[in-house]
Structure 1
């Protein structure tokens, strides 16, 4: 992992990385044979081993970088010019659609007949309800390769960086009229897996499940969350049960237990243990492929595969080593998994359970079986939450206060629900008609949805807009690690280290608070069809806007900035005609286009709501330093103003291209 992180800040060539890693591997081999017969060991073997693995991480990133391939489309097409071309693509993944487009990840195979390689994001307009594409479909698309959209406001989710971590560097916007299907034949394992999912879905529809029930069934058993509507997804998030909808270690562990029970008679046959292990591994990996091979599925199946091999070879295994092996294998295959939120949280949850659950349970357990089961579930949930809490707050800035109730109720039932669901899937595959048995599964899913909806509506127990940063995340994990180590093996030195770390963390908090309090800035945020000016003074934020009440409450550009800067108080005001910040004068010209007879000389002019003005005359009259256009203006006006400013050699800042205008 350290090697992967280091590689992001190095620009080494593939040849240099291969040479360095080869030299280190050779040195490691020599040191191994030299040291294995030495009675007194020295540090060189261990030191070279660490450096070799770091170098291997760096090499893995370089070898997986698609941009290093000569055939990559970025070497054959100028994205900045965005010329209309003919693209031949093959769909590799179907994403969740938005209100305007259906989204797909596709492999680009040729541009205007010239063979190329690389992945792109295809956005197909939702102008009809028919044109949907499946994995492995080959298409001819007429359009332009365009740059990925970067975040335009501070602390906004960087979708461009997210896609680049998946080796996607461009996107195509098109509509079904400009797309023709060449082939729908399946030619990859992912295509066949998608075909199996689609076939099962079609067969499940004869059981007449409600759309919300079918969407949850797909997520729960097949790991496909594309069809879950926003309100239902929000209910699961607010209830702290979103992990139910992502196939992870909990699901794979339950399936492993089911398989062990069903295949138990094999142990009485000759070499039955080995046959059983092979069958389990085949079924687990087949299920992982059908479910889409997400990071959580990969982590869980890899880890349980290692455990299965250990069990049936009758070798002792250590859970930390098992986790490390699974992470190592996955990161060798795809180093960018390290930056997947699901990958990070799934490993931290398991580490939290393994490290903290025994400590909590041993302190709270009783002499009675039933209370111990409940206590164990509570401790399991607490341990998992402690493992993911700092990082989940950093990413999502939200904490579900009723997560204990959610997990204590659902975890004991999840095995039964998964088993029930797998039987229903078997019935569907065998074309068994609709019955009370299948109706019962629909009722179970509906009841689960209603339960999480009720939990999610308890707003008093949902803590939102919790600020965090990397210092807090690292500090929390370091303190948790040291305190846990102290309670595992109590000693004076461990107590001193833990308390010293807490003291240093408090000092760091003081300086962090001072830094945020001392930062002041003024911003013109980007908001389509609206204008927002923000003024940050320490922990206070003033928002000048022309939003309606609903947009004011739900606007992410404001809430993201508030959370990212640890803002304590936000005041909303109407958008002014003029504004002063740090002795700098701002003039806001709205749709009325009035700017004459001013009593001050503006340093900055903000154009809002597409004013019908002659920009040349405005520059002659006011002579501003910078002209700013926000997201409320027509694109045709923006283009004309930009050309005028180029001709007049006047700085022009359009928030839709350059992002929010920030004045410190």
Structure 2
């Protein structure tokens, strides 16, 4: 089956292209509107000409695809909240660092950090001027104060702070992640600076949050353990904020993290249960229509309760289309259904395209639909149990073919025992979800027997224990895999051509597969030729110094870490994985780096720099040396001063002021990020 024979798939591809262009190259709303209007008018003219002459022309199709690309650009532009006339960035554009009186509403509760409780908020007013937009709110943790609730409105006086970009190479770019959610700034506030505002407005997000809170309150008397209650919230309610780091890591390393993300598997099971419950309605007049309306309404209510994440939105949209098509007695094609669901979601939420969950969700489903029938046909067990286990295995393997390249690109690890986790958990997941829904329903009406709660808690405990055991088999967990975007593209090419040749062996498919192999080899060669070499890096690490020197695919590390910091630090891991560096060495921090003709003098807390025979071009200040910087500059005449994260903030501010006064370049790693010098 050739996927591009389906018109909706072609249009969806064009929409994706338009969204990508619109995000990477923003344009004004007026330009996007005029371009889209012109193309749609041209499309109408070509359609009328083609219908009148009864002939197909290439121009109609070309204009249609261009119009869809333009619609993608327009959709991205319209949804960009910065283009709204009263967006808060227009109010604070001239005084971003000054105090602003801000009125806002809590929109979403995020997983707390080490020092702050985090929320996404909707801005209502800034300095008595009506405003709109979202931002990130950080509240200093206070065990004596309750957490803020969704829909609560507050007033506070605080400056807007810029989001911090990654300070070291290949670190997770949280600023870019938030930008895709139209969040451009953050607020830091103490609980004492928050003033609540009386209000009567309620949003759907607030209703869903209160319902989740009510469900958890009803479950409290049954004494579920924290990890068990966190898994129940993830499986049934789509909330993963309370999952401990240890449990989350176990599911990740076992290749079972998708179980905790409400997606197609969960929604499909819910749809089967609801279809069975509402089956009697079909006996009445218009019963099928009523059943369809109820099913779609409950599915979207469930999606709202689960937080409308990308994966659950995809699943509910797709199953809603299937449900409506069955009611209309229209034949459905799974590829069309997937494409329509993607098309609709991206029109409403174009930034979902860059969401990892959205990408993995669709890639997994496309792979299952395309590959699973081929693998499943290799063996037809006679008995029910072997057949179910075999089919679970083939579905799991098919999904991995779809997501492996993207998963390696984002997470750089591969759980080798993923099939064991899925073979054991997936067959029972329907029962676990169904019993979970029953437990919540009985708890809501105060009719849940304690022994049922105990049994369900023990089932969750067994699942966590098994996942924990699988995750500890370190020999089967491949970590720190370097995988670039180029590798993603060429390996998908290899997977597609390899599967085509494996199940349909002919000369054409063999030729395509061999070409893909050559392309993959070329990507490896290209990567080997472009690895960083002769590179000196002063990384940013608060309270410590971390220096790297890259030579011939090896990085030489010098640091003053303590044992705890050394075991938990990921800065070097991110750098080596991102740059495909295979080996690293350690040494103590020297007082001088000689890099060809570029010398870097390191001045530590001892403050020794009186080297008359040496004129360093760069000076690195670390561990807050008590020196007279003016005297150092006069003595050594450096071209650049570097201050890493180990220095006191007051020292760095004083040094920065001196360098600015003397018009000498000053690199502060806490502001400008890692200092990188190629030599």
- Pairwise CA distance, 1:139: 0.7
Gaps in structure 1 of 5+ consecutive residues: none
Conserved? CA contact 1:206–1:434, under 8 Å: no
Conserved? CA contact 2:490–2:523, under 8 Å: no
| Counterpart among 525, 529, 536 of residue 510 in structure 1 | 525
| Counterpart among 576, 583, 586 of residue 572 in structure 1 | 586
Match of 1:97 in 2: 112
Q: Distance in 2 between matches of 1:289 and 1:561?
A: 39
Conserved? CA contact 2:170–2:574, under 8 Å: yes
Aligned pairs, number: 663
Conserved? CA contact 1:60–1:332, under 8 Å: yes
Match of 1:545 in 2: 559
Query: In terms of mean alpha carbon deviation, does 100-109 or 122-131 score higher?
Result: 122-131
Q: Distance in 1 between matches of 2:165 and 2:458?
A: 43
Is residue 88 from structure 1 mapped to residue 103 from structure 2 by the alignment? yes
Match of 2:655 in 1: 641
Conserved? CA contact 1:608–1:630, under 8 Å: yes
Is residue 159 from structure 1 mapped to residue 167 from structure 2 by the alignment? no
Q: Distance in 2 between matches of 1:633 and 1:184?
A: 47
Is residue 484 from structure 1 mapped to residue 499 from structure 2 by the alignment? yes
Match of 1:527 in 2: 541
- Pairwise CA distance, 1:573: 1.3
Is residue 114 from structure 1 mapped to residue 129 from structure 2 by the alignment? yes
Q: Distance in 1 between matches of 2:63 and 2:85?
A: 34
Match of 1:309 in 2: 324
- DSSP-derived class of the 1:531 partner: strand
> Structure 1 residues 145, 308: CA separation in 2 closer, same or farther (over 3 Å shift)?
same
Q: Distance in 2 between matches of 1:639 and 1:454?
A: 50
Is residue 23 from structure 1 mapped to residue 32 from structure 2 by the alignment? no
Match of 1:220 in 2: 235
Q: Distance in 1 between matches of 2:49 and 2:542?
A: 67
Conserved? CA contact 2:534–2:551, under 8 Å: yes
Q: Distance in 1 between matches of 2:432 and 2:96?
A: 53
Q: CA RMSD in A?
A: 1.5
- Pairwise CA distance, 1:271: 2.0
| Counterpart among 183, 188, 213 of residue 203 in structure 2 | 188
Query: In terms of mean alpha carbon deviation, does 357-366 or 484-493 score higher?
Result: 484-493
Q: Distance in 2 between matches of 1:93 and 1:327?
A: 25
Q: Distance in 2 between matches of 1:329 and 1:588?
A: 57
| Counterpart among 415, 419, 422 of residue 404 in structure 1 | 419
- TM-score when scaled to structure 1? 0.97
Deviation per residue, 1:219-251 (Å, 9 max, x gap): 110010111111111111111111111100010
Conserved? CA contact 2:165–2:175, under 8 Å: yes
Match of 1:247 in 2: 262
- DSSP-derived class of the 2:541 partner: coil
Q: Distance in 2 between matches of 1:92 and 1:622?
A: 55
| Counterpart among 276, 281, 284 of residue 291 in structure 2 | 276
- Pairwise CA distance, 1:185: 4.5
Q: Distance in 1 between matches of 2:522 and 2:413?
A: 25
| Counterpart among 144, 148, 152 of residue 159 in structure 2 | 144
- DSSP-derived class of the 2:119 partner: strand
Conserved? CA contact 1:136–1:185, under 8 Å: no
Conserved? CA contact 1:338–1:344, under 8 Å: yes
- Pairwise CA distance, 1:595: 1.2
Q: Distance in 1 between matches of 2:456 and 2:54?
A: 65
Match of 1:632 in 2: 646
Q: Distance in 1 between matches of 2:244 and 2:24?
A: 39
Match of 1:361 in 2: 376
Conserved? CA contact 2:490–2:519, under 8 Å: no
- Pairwise CA distance, 1:276: 1.3
- Pairwise CA distance, 1:89: 0.5
Gaps in structure 2 of 5+ consecutive residues: 1-15
Conserved? CA contact 2:96–2:159, under 8 Å: no
Q: Distance in 2 between matches of 1:99 and 1:7?
A: 36
Matches within 5 A, 1:343-358: 343-358=358-373
Deviation per residue, 1:256-277 (Å, 9 max, x gap): 1111111111222212222211
Conserved? CA contact 1:80–1:147, under 8 Å: no
Q: Distance in 2 between matches of 1:621 and 1:662?
A: 25
Is residue 290 from structure 1 mapped to residue 337 from structure 2 by the alignment? no
Match of 1:6 in 2: 21
- DSSP-derived class of the 1:606 partner: strand
> Structure 1 residues 38, 257: CA separation in 2 closer, same or farther (over 3 Å shift)?
farther
| Counterpart among 426, 433, 443 of residue 418 in structure 1 | 433
> Structure 1 residues 290, 464: CA separation in 2 closer, same or farther (over 3 Å shift)?
same
Conserved? CA contact 2:160–2:185, under 8 Å: yes
> Structure 1 residues 570, 553: CA separation in 2 closer, same or farther (over 3 Å shift)?
farther
Deviation per residue, 1:496-541 (Å, 9 max, x gap): 223212212212321221221x633110000000001101113111
- Pairwise CA distance, 1:130: 2.1
| Counterpart among 573, 588, 603 of residue 617 in structure 2 | 603
Is residue 464 from structure 1 mapped to residue 475 from structure 2 by the alignment? no
Deviation per residue, 1:461-488 (Å, 9 max, x gap): 1111000101100011122223334456
- DSSP-derived class of the 1:107 partner: strand
Is residue 556 from structure 1 mapped to residue 570 from structure 2 by the alignment? yes
Conserved? CA contact 1:79–1:147, under 8 Å: no
> Structure 1 residues 18, 204: CA separation in 2 closer, same or farther (over 3 Å shift)?
same
- TM-score when scaled to structure 2? 0.95
> Structure 1 residues 433, 262: CA separation in 2 closer, same or farther (over 3 Å shift)?
closer
> Structure 1 residues 147, 80: CA separation in 2 closer, same or farther (over 3 Å shift)?
farther
Conserved? CA contact 2:557–2:585, under 8 Å: yes
Match of 1:124 in 2: 139
Query: In terms of mean alpha carbon deviation, does 525-534 or 451-460 score higher?
Result: 451-460
- DSSP-derived class of the 2:446 partner: coil
Q: Distance in 1 between matches of 2:576 and 2:144?
A: 39
- DSSP-derived class of the 1:8 partner: helix
- Pairwise CA distance, 1:38: 5.1
- DSSP-derived class of the 1:348 partner: helix
- DSSP-derived class of the 1:140 partner: strand
Conserved? CA contact 2:482–2:578, under 8 Å: yes
Q: Distance in 1 between matches of 2:365 and 2:52?
A: 38
| Counterpart among 44, 50, 56 of residue 71 in structure 2 | 56
Deviation per residue, 1:301-340 (Å, 9 max, x gap): 0011111111221111111111111111111111111111
- Pairwise CA distance, 1:86: 1.7
Q: Distance in 1 between matches of 2:38 and 2:503?
A: 40
Q: Distance in 2 between matches of 1:486 and 1:42?
A: 35
Q: Distance in 2 between matches of 1:586 and 1:80?
A: 39
Q: Distance in 2 between matches of 1:372 and 1:426?
A: 33
| Counterpart among 44, 58, 69 of residue 59 in structure 2 | 44
Conserved? CA contact 1:102–1:123, under 8 Å: yes
